[in-house]
Structure 1
Amino acid sequence: MIANLVVLALPLVATYLLAAWWHRRFRQFADFPQLKPSFLWGHLKTIHEYTLRGPPKIHHDPVFAEMAKELGNPPLMFCDLRPASYPMVVVTSHEVAEQISRVSKLFPWSTPKSPTLGDLVQLIGPKSILMRKNEDWKQLRKRFNPGFAPHHLMTLLPCILDKTDIFIEHLDRYASSGDESPLLKLTINLTFDIIGAITMNVDLDAQHSESSDQGEFIRLYDQLVSLYGDPDGLPWWVHPRREWRRHCLSRKIDEHLDGMIKAKHAEVQEKQQNGKAKPRDVLSLGLQGSDQLTPSLLAETRDQLKTFLFAGHDTTGILLAWLFYELSRSPRVLQVVRDELDQLFGPDPDPAAVREKLLAPNGEELINRMSYLTAVIKEVLRLYPPAGTARMAPPGSGFTVRTPDGQNFCLDGAIIYNAATIIQRDRAVFGDTANDFVPERWLGDKAGIMSAGAAQDDENGDTAGDRKLPPGAWRPFERGPRNCIGQDLATIEVRVILAVVARAFDFVKVGLGELDLDEKGRPVLNEKGQYKTKSEMYNMAQITAKPVESMRMKVRRRQ
């Protein structure tokens, strides 16, 4: 009897499951702009096919851009990633992106972060500020904000310059030898040294010529990051051995950080008791007022350090690499940058002379007067944003966005990806030069690249006045209350590094993106005022968006 009931029930169960799958695949998000999904694989197969049309290991943003183009560039696009992941909505409009990042009655601290951040848990820690929510997140942000305040960061110029001196030594070595350099590796090591010194006041020894000479912490960290290279988007249980290796390396890194935090806490306590000078590194500032270093506080602090170390070195190193590339193929822009630096620092381009003026009493003023250099940085961040953001509204929350043409879409239960690369190249905003390197578009624009301008926009929603472009159309640090805590550090250190390096060295691309020379071996300008290249540079997906081939360059001392 039971066997017969089971036999009769099987078709009913199968029919129900088939109907449920059919609804989820074809009906649940049917009103969203999307390419035709597969019954079994959703849009995974389509994404794979579009990826194969591009160069090897290309980042997913250009792939999504091509898919959106096929649909007529809608303000958002649905991509069904099931069964590999959650369904996803790719946002391509700055108007929609603003609705996701700003505060609302439903989400007082903006739309929650996506649970897919859990894929990075071994890298940033389970208590990372990136994964915290609501009031819990607010208190953690408040605790660490003082260490990233612009007026405090300006006091750390000597530290940034000290680390830049080591970077210059490497550039000199490559200039003397004539060998090509993996510029991205050099810039990332530089920014790792800076973030280590600023967050913990320790020398992480990241800039040694040989990796064998680097400190153990750096070697462990590089091994861990390498296990996140070339992501396939599949869940962790598909690669259990890799996940175990990540776990083991993460625990070793935790042991190093725990020792540093305990030593720093004891140092802070001693200074507070003796009335000594206030500490200047982020870790010490974050530990002030904490008499007891409880296990919970230790773990929470450790995970913030892991987050700051990763985000603070990776994205800034990528920005520097793209800056040197764009300057190397844009002679007019490079000359304007050098002219501005000559006016600010005098005609002597020697790094020592620049250092002396930056450390003088008016050094902060000189940094704030780099208006054209700031425009160059902002334009590079527009074209090559190093990172993006993913959010998710819980199912049943009723989170709805409105597109510019008046349509409403409920985004509950889907990954919401603000595709900065697509948003920041929108022809409706940036015109025919949307894909071109034009720093001048930012001159006279009210917002620079510091967080103060973004905060003003977030509070007032003001897009008029001195605004030349919609503020939400530029979002490399994202926007809203959960914007990047370290954006001021990144933009200050990049301006300092460029002030020291841009007039002292020339960079020549080799490999992909190298210059297309004429019959006399001279570079040729195109109609956009840039040197023609034999091939195009592009970003790969390695957690963040990194330039292909590590941005291979030859370095020359400027004559």
Structure 2
Amino acid sequence: MAFLSVLLAALALLLTHFYLKLRHRRLKQFARLPQLPTSLVWGHLRLYSEFRSRGPIDRHPELVFKDMHDALGKPPLMFVDMWPASKPVVLLTSHELAEQMARSSSKFPFSPPKASAIKDLVHLTGQQSILTSEGQEWKRLRKTYSLAFAPAHLMSLLPCMVEKLTPTVACLTAFSQTQQSFSLFNVAASLTIDVIGAVVMDEEFHAQIDCGSSPQSEIVRLFFEILQTYTSRHSQRWWTILFMEKKRRRLTRQLRPLLEDLVLRKFAEYRQQMSSGNEPAKPRSILALTFSAGGETEPTPEAVSNACDQLMTFFFAGHDSTGVLLSWIFYELSCCSRARDCVREELDALFGKDTRPEIVQEALRSEAGPSLVRKMKYISAVVKETLRLYPPASTARILQRDGTVYRDSPEDFVPERWLDAAGAYPASAWRPFERGPRNCIGQELALLEACIVVAVLARHFDFTKVGLGALERDDEGRVVVDDGGVSRPKSWLYPMYQITAKPVDGMMMQVCYST
């Protein structure tokens, strides 16, 4: 009996301690931060669920946070307590505050640490990824790869990037003949994988298998299988977590030896080239430049493992963000005939009236290619405006639509805002690649690739959205266009969470030759 009394007393003390700690955490610790009314038991989980139910339930969580932020009166920051579902977070919706957070400080000399959730992507990025590393290790990796991603070096790789568009053109040509609907994101992501293979590794991956190219690389097949364990709808259900983790481990064990063999083979090619004393016949890949920077005569197991981690990171981050970017670019151009006409006029001025993709590709492969890319002012503005509205990989969806910065058109697609806009908008208010020391190392590659793809495809093909986001038409089936050259969708095409923010339907399109 005495033991039971002690046990009950201990339980009462434990519950009291838990209650007081929870009460302090929920109601006092962050009480000074702007936030919606919180619950002692649920924090903001119940409110989040209520706001989520007001729209498509599979929309990106940041869109739910945006609705909550609007309801709170749009303060410069907002506290959201989602514990125990996730850690409490502070959403910075002011570009000034975001800029302060991204800077180096005495406490965080290389910027604040990454969120712990990013460690969940270890099977996509590797253990020592530049994306997840901290401190001196991150600094070393950044220094090793920064020169390889410099704009001047990327421009030297322009011909091999342009070459990868040939299967894409063939793929779109086939779709234009059959009028079959297709996922533009899948086409763009496969193209980007092939570009990354050429630029980063000087390797043919044949990711564009649906476009009639050679058999797909086993590396690409396994990578996409791992990716599916994160992005499929089944992977987001709590009862599948253990099964999905087991599957990721199995696929990773199959992928790593293939990557290691690739790194060793490329190192042997690099060493043979250096020992011969001959200048390379073409610009070096990013991997070859890192061999040169490392100065090793023999690759150590640690160096090989590290290189594999970075290759996986570039695969994941590069294909995903650029694929999303290209999807939204062609969607917005299909909605905004004014912008589409301006893009085509600029391309006519640069490449002549012949709109065939091979003509543009030939010009971009020539010595004049870099100069032509630099003259794509309006296309660059289109890319920049698309990234403002649809940042694929960061949390800038609220910040970059700030009406106090972008004034009367924060929700509209207006590429013209970036033409001769020096000083018109604070640099810190545009941050799709983030800012500060840990900004995206591959941003120049993404921007360059987007400009090239638009240049080759935008005049030759017309894209038409089907399903969600399809445009309004009149009684005769013609797209309705307002005085500003903008067409309105019949339904909302929204992003959903699949590691990054992807179009909910994969950007289902039909394509035809432009008239």
Name the SS of the counterpart of 2:253 in structure 1.
helix
Return the alpha-carbon distance in structure 2 between the equivalents of residues 237 and 512 of structure 1.
30
Partner AA of 1:368 in structure 2: R
Q: CA deviation at 1:210?
A: 7.7
Instruction: Pick from 340, 358, 365 the counterpart of residue 352 of structure 1.
Output: 358
- Structure 1 equivalent of residue 338 of structure 2: 332
Residues 147 and 280, structure 1, Cα contact 8 Å, conserved in 2: no
Q: CA deviation at 1:238?
A: 7.5
Name the SS of the counterpart of 1:90 in structure 2.
strand
Q: CA deviation at 1:244?
A: 1.1
- Structure 1 equivalent of residue 30 of structure 2: 29
Residues 495 and 503, structure 2, Cα contact 8 Å, conserved in 1: yes
520-529 vs 259-268, which moves further:
520-529
Name the SS of the counterpart of 1:226 in structure 2.
helix
- Structure 2 equivalent of residue 365 of structure 1: 371
- Structure 1 equivalent of residue 408 of structure 2: 432
Return the alpha-carbon distance in structure 2 between the equivalents of residues 208 and 8 of structure 1.
67
Residues 126 and 313, structure 2, Cα contact 8 Å, conserved in 1: yes
Residues 461 and 512, structure 2, Cα contact 8 Å, conserved in 1: yes
Instruction: Pick from 310, 313, 316 the counterpart of residue 316 of structure 2.
Output: 310
- Structure 2 equivalent of residue 285 of structure 1: 289
* Alpha-carbon displacement from aligned partner over 1:336-362 (angstroms, at most 9, x marks no partner): 111011111111111121122212222
Partner AA of 1:175 in structure 2: S
287-296 vs 365-374, which moves further:
287-296
Q: CA deviation at 1:132?
A: 1.2
Residues 119 and 236, structure 1, Cα contact 8 Å, conserved in 2: no
Q: CA deviation at 1:430?
A: 0.4
Alignment of 1:103 with 2:133, yes or no, is no
Return the alpha-carbon distance in structure 1 between the equivalents of residues 287 and 237 of structure 2.
33
Alignment of 1:16 with 2:20, yes or no, is no
Instruction: Pick from 265, 268, 275 the counterpart of residue 266 of structure 1.
Output: 268
Name the SS of the counterpart of 1:508 in structure 2.
strand
- Structure 1 equivalent of residue 393 of structure 2: 387
Name the SS of the counterpart of 2:407 in structure 1.
helix
Return the alpha-carbon distance in structure 2 between the equivalents of residues 8 and 506 of structure 1.
74
Q: How does 1:184-333 map to 2 (within 5 A)?
A: 184-209=185-210, 213-229=215-231, 239-278=241-280, 280-288=284-292, 289-333=295-339
Return the alpha-carbon distance in structure 1 between the equivalents of residues 464 and 437 of structure 2.
40
Return the alpha-carbon distance in structure 2 between the equivalents of residues 67 and 227 of structure 1.
30
Residues 319 and 381, structure 1, Cα contact 8 Å, conserved in 2: yes
334-343 vs 515-524, which moves further:
515-524
Alignment of 1:495 with 2:451, yes or no, is yes
Residues 507 and 556, structure 1, Cα contact 8 Å, conserved in 2: yes
Q: CA deviation at 1:87?
A: 1.2
Name the SS of the counterpart of 1:433 in structure 2.
coil
Name the SS of the counterpart of 1:530 in structure 2.
coil
- Structure 2 equivalent of residue 423 of structure 1: 399
* Alpha-carbon displacement from aligned partner over 1:509-544 (angstroms, at most 9, x marks no partner): 111111211112111113543112211211111001
- Structure 1 equivalent of residue 502 of structure 2: 546
485-494 vs 286-295, which moves further:
286-295
Return the alpha-carbon distance in structure 2 between the equivalents of residues 117 and 276 of structure 1.
43
Q: CA deviation at 1:140?
A: 0.7
Alignment of 1:68 with 2:69, yes or no, is yes
- Structure 1 equivalent of residue 133 of structure 2: 132
Return the alpha-carbon distance in structure 2 between the equivalents of residues 264 and 13 of structure 1.
60
* Alpha-carbon displacement from aligned partner over 1:309-359 (angstroms, at most 9, x marks no partner): 111111001111111111111111111111011111111111121122212
- Structure 2 equivalent of residue 47 of structure 1: 48
Q: How does 1:154-173 map to 2 (within 5 A)?
A: 154-173=155-174
Q: CA deviation at 1:236?
A: 8.2
Return the alpha-carbon distance in structure 2 between the equivalents of residues 144 and 515 of structure 1.
43
Q: Percent identity?
A: 45
Task: Check 1:181–1:494 CA distance in 2 against 1; reply closer, same or farther (3 A cut).
Answer: same
* Alpha-carbon displacement from aligned partner over 1:93-134 (angstroms, at most 9, x marks no partner): 111110111222322211111111111111111111111112
Q: CA deviation at 1:273?
A: 2.1
What 5-or-longer segments of structure 2 have no aligned partner? none
Return the alpha-carbon distance in structure 1 between the equivalents of residues 24 and 297 of structure 2.
56
Return the alpha-carbon distance in structure 1 between the equivalents of residues 327 and 152 of structure 2.
27
Name the SS of the counterpart of 1:500 in structure 2.
helix
User: What TM-score do you get using the length of structure 2 for normalisation?
Assistant: 0.95
204-213 vs 367-376, which moves further:
204-213
Name the SS of the counterpart of 1:554 in structure 2.
strand
- Structure 2 equivalent of residue 516 of structure 1: 472
Matched length: 509
Return the alpha-carbon distance in structure 1 between the equivalents of residues 134 and 196 of structure 2.
25
Residues 231 and 543, structure 1, Cα contact 8 Å, conserved in 2: no
- Structure 2 equivalent of residue 470 of structure 1: 426
Partner AA of 2:40 in structure 1: F
Name the SS of the counterpart of 2:408 in structure 1.
helix
Alignment of 1:482 with 2:486, yes or no, is no
Return the alpha-carbon distance in structure 2 between the equivalents of residues 534 and 8 of structure 1.
63
Partner AA of 1:239 in structure 2: I
Return the alpha-carbon distance in structure 2 between the equivalents of residues 294 and 530 of structure 1.
57
Q: CA RMSD in A?
A: 2.0
369-378 vs 53-62, which moves further:
53-62
Residues 230 and 541, structure 1, Cα contact 8 Å, conserved in 2: no
